[in-house]
Structure 1
Amino acid sequence: MVTRTRDVTDERRVFVDLTDASHAIGTKVRAVNGQIRAACQLDEAGLDNLRHTLEALGHPASE
C-alpha cells in the first residue's frame, strides 16, 4: 500500500509514497461515496449531516 525509501543524502529521512494499488483503492472509495449519495438521494448538506451522525454514533458521549 505504501513504499518507503531512505534519502540517499540523509538516512534519517524516509520518503513514504502510495503505491498504484493504493491509488486504485482511493478511486473505488470515491465511487462508493457517490453511489451512497445517489442511493440516499442526498445533497452535499445531507451527506455532511449523515457523516456527522455516523461519526457521533461511532463515538458515543460518556456518562
Structure 2
Amino acid sequence: MSNPTSARPLRQPAVSARLLWTALAVVAVLALLTYLVAFDQGAVSRNGMFLHELMHDGRHLLGVPCH
C-alpha cells in the first residue's frame, strides 16, 4: 500500500488563464491600433479622411509613408 502523504503535488500552470487572456486582449488592441495608424488611410472612417488626418503625425513619427 502506498503512503498518501508521499504523493506528488499537482503541477500549477506557468501562466494563469486570466493572464493569458489579458495578454491576448492587449495584443489584439495593439494590432488594431497599429492597423489604424499605419494602414487605414481613411477606410474605417465614415466621413472621408478624418482618421487619416487624426493619425497623420503618428504615421510620420513611426516612419510610415502616407503621401
TM-score (norm 2): 0.34
- Select the structure that is richer in strand: 1
